Chain A
Amino acid sequence: MFQTPHAMLPSMNHDEAARADFCASLRKKFTTDLFPGTRTLYSKALLPAFEAKHGRKPKNAKEAAQLLQSSFYYRGMNAVGRAAQELVWDTVGESVERQLPELVERAKPKPGALGTVRSNPDLPIPRYIDAVDIHVMPGNFHTELGEDDVFAGALYDRGVHVFAFGGLGDQNEALGVAMAAWVRENYPDFKPHRILDVGCGPGFTTVPWKQAFPDAEVHGIDVGGPQVRYAHGRAESLGVGVHFSQQDGTATDFPDGHFDLVTSMLVTHECPVPVIKGLFKEAHRLLARGGITLHDGGTPAHDPFESHMTSWFGNNANEPFSAQFRMLDYKAALVEAGFAEESYFRGEREPVYLKGQLPPITLVGAVKD
């Protein structure tokens, strides 16, 4: 419904808010009606017709996709989904851009801050980030529009709330809260001194860790300067002390064994496999003995049709690495990074606002011995 205002959240004038509300409604229509409606059409009409003609089910995702493409419902649904994807960023972006000078000032570190922020203008931006605007979000997470820029952070914080039609909570906090709750439930005696959130974006996945473990020193890193600067201003205005820095999660400047928990959320599915392996390797270096690493992992779909359905963002919203992410052998990747095979674990969390639309999200991790 309404996103909790904080000092960094761009305000919206009447018509900006109305357009954003439309985007949220459109995304809701797509996510809860048009997209799942594909399953109805497929099972009741397309599949029976295919079986009548060929005497079998489609044998792979490509054949399932071809069958779907024969339907105007499917083609129209995709066009609407793509339109929504583009419109969200454009609508929110216009509003953020109008207020950018003020937002940049507000994000700057102030005396008496609870946390810290470090930018690194010399950080090389990896090609996989520079070459593809993830989610069709122009400029991606890292583009700098000027000195001390926070545009991409504000765009993503506002944009996600519209995109998920409020489904990640009033502060987009639901993912972080779910992940922290999962750790508490599965490791009740775990008392981390330091926590690292890799690919922290605007910090809505990071702040919940500090709230769940108030005694821990919590860090968030992101390759995007606009993300960490925005995240700092945002966390300060929410009264939560977190340390943000602009770094690449595969090669940080923290010392060995510095953390008890190295985690990421909604990051791994945007990374090529070698980068995922690099994140695991760095996590192993950064963890103290008994420390935990925890990330989103993928699960291959078992049915050609569902495999195609779960590829929607890969095919329509610039998530080129998500297919490989689903196929990766996570146990092998973590072992390769230095973790003991028996310390590997898998878990599940609800797909939050996509509950009922998508299967639960797989979590993967390991404990350093």
Chain B
Amino acid sequence: MQAETTTRFQPRRRTAKGQARPRYLQPDDIDKVMLMLVNLLSEVSALRDRLDTAEAVVELGGQPTSAAIEAYELTPERHLARESNRQAMLARVLRPITEERDATAGDEA
């Protein structure tokens, strides 16, 4: 969405003149990109858990400081809730892979 502006300036150019952008990746590189994607997902998941811990600390009446986050003891209930969140996240992220199978499993789903 472009904000409505009444301005006498042209919008700035978003690409640079000169040499075309070099081609970096080669077809065989895609496997490594996939590995990086999964590694990144681990970081996203850890970030989400850290936020969940901060929420838990606050719910217990504390301040979400680094020390309080480190000291927090995960309860079995919260562990299970996180696990089901992670499975839901994996299902969403991996959908392009699983859709081929899920299309064949219609009568079982």
Contact = CB atoms under 8 A, between A and B. Distances in A.
Nearest to B108: A40
Nearest to B37: A83
A41 B104 contact: yes
Given A1-B79, A14-B50, A21-B49, A37 B39 contact: no
Nearest to A37: B101
A161 B43 CA distance: 20
Interface in A188-202: none
Given A44-B105, A73-B97, A25 B90 contact: yes
Contact of B45 (A13, A18, A34): A18
Interface string B77-108: 00100110011001100101110110011001
Interface string B34-56: 11011101110110011001000
B87 A25 contact: yes
Contacts of A77: 97
Interface stretch (A84-92, A224-232, A292-300, A321-329): A84-92
Q: Provide the main secondary structure of the chain B interface.
A: helix
Contact of A14 (B41, B70, B97, B101): B70
A44 B76 CA distance: 39
Contact of A41 (B35, B42, B87, B101): B101
A77 B37 CA distance: 14
B105 A80 contact: no
B90 A13 contact: no
Contacts of A168: none
Q: Provide the main secondary structure of the chain A interface.
A: helix
Interface in A71-86: 71-73, 76-77, 79-80, 82-84, 86
A44 B100 CA distance: 11
Interface string A86-101: 1100010000000000
Contact of B42 (A17, A23, A29, A79): A23
Nearest to B44: A22
B51 to A, nearest CB: 10
A33 to B, nearest CB: 8
Interface in A19-71: 19, 21-23, 25-26, 28-29, 33-34, 37-38, 40-41, 44-45, 71
6 contacts: A14-B53, A15-B46, A21-B82, A29-B90, A38-B101, A73-B97
Given A26-B38, A34-B97, 4 more contacts: A14-B50, A28-B87, A41-B104, A44-B105
Interface of A: 1-2, 13-15, 17-19, 21-23, 25-26, 28-29, 33-34, 37-38, 40-41, 44-45, 71-73, 76-77, 79-80, 82-84, 86-87, 91
Closest 5 pairs (CB-CB, A-B): A76-B97, A83-B38, A18-B49, A18-B46, A22-B45
